[in-house]
Amino acid sequence: MRPTKHSFTHAVRRRAVAVLGALALLTGIGVGTATVAQAASTGAITGYQGLCLDDRSASTALFNPIQVYTCNGTNAQQWTVQSNGTLQVLGMCLDVSGAGTANGTLVDLYTCNNTVAQVWQPGGNGVLINPNSGKCLDDTGWGGSGTQVQIWACSGGANQSWTVPGGGSTAGGGSFVVSEAQFDQMFPSRNSFYTYSGLVAALNSYPAFATTGGTTVEKQEAAAFLANVDHETGGLVYVNEIDQSGDYCASESYGCPAGTYAYYGRGPLQISWNFNYEAAGQAIGQDLLDNPNLVSTNAAIAWETALWYWFTGTGNGSVTSHQAMTGGSGFGATIRAINDIECNGGNTAEMQDRVNDYESFTSILGVSPGGNLTC
């Protein structure tokens, strides 16, 4: 397989990332998850500084803010953890506004409607993950009593750690569905930079990855991600783009402080362009705009940038790669999200190479590849 410069980062602007929310809300895509609890339990949900998750003013109005507040034992703080992954108070559900997927999307109260905006699942370090967005319930800015909560890229910080009734802390999580031996089998000639431990470390920031929808879907998502990575890097051989002469400095207010020619492709999905380095850095808490070489010198950061795109980028498609694999769109939709110029006959050979990788990796993981493999 030849490493090539693909266009998935060319077509995606920071302002165009994460557009699926409204679509998911309208269609009511079902997501099977490892839910917060197996049976309904009711009580307080506590977070940073011992504050309670609270329905402001005990209102049942649609879009009423959900905040952190001094624990007071009132019904506005009595949350029922349902087996379908919803968190309910006063007969209403904890809801990501508009099924949004962007950092800072507010969390409020809404009629329970069985959509992905209302599903929450546990992850490591006590986080509560909304699998549609891949982001965590977040005490905004480590705010004090009265601060409305939001979703934000999972960081494992104390402001994203919650204790739920009936289950204690949500911390726990499971091991990655791809073992190190399977990883080695998939990438027998990989560059030593791309460590398995670096990938596993990066998963802490994206705990919804390969943990959503049951064992088959989880393994299919892992295989799909790694198949695209295999194609982009020639089997995890290449860390940096071979041709580094391209001008990937778009006209943005923040410019290109690392240099006009500094934003070539790096890492497992070959992130390029200044606006992608800026957006990815914002999401994972690293200054990649000023220090793009972090993607080629720190394995965990490199894997995080790839996972960032997996959860946010749609290319010219309508779903992110994560949503494609957990919502039933199939592997072909991940190709469209990552490099849509291969679709619709644009480059059938390159597209088929990705499919071949995916089928090989699902075989290693012992699951069917499912349908809708091409684009």
Residue with tokens 């911390």: 171
> What 3-state class would DSSP assign to 327?
helix
Q: Which tokens go with 76?
A: 């506005």
Q: Which tokens go with 323?
A: 């949503």
Annotation marks residue 278 as catalytic: no
Work out the number of other CB atoms within 10 angstroms of the CB of residue 254. 11
What is the C-alpha separation between 255 and 259, in angstroms, rounded?
9
Q: Which of 218, 232, 241, 278 is catalytic?
A: 232
The rounded radius of gyration (Å) of the Cα atoms in the chain is 20
What is the C-alpha separation between 158 and 352, in angstroms, rounded?
44
Contact call for residues 162 and 152 (beta carbons, < 8 A): no
What is the C-alpha separation between 133 and 98, in angstroms, rounded?
11
Q: Which tokens go with 249?
A: 């400095």
Contact call for residues 16 and 246 (beta carbons, < 8 A): no
Work out the number of other CB atoms within 10 angstroms of the CB of residue 163. 17
Beta strands at 150-152 and 135-138: parallel, antiparallel or unpaired: antiparallel
Residues annotated as catalytic are 232
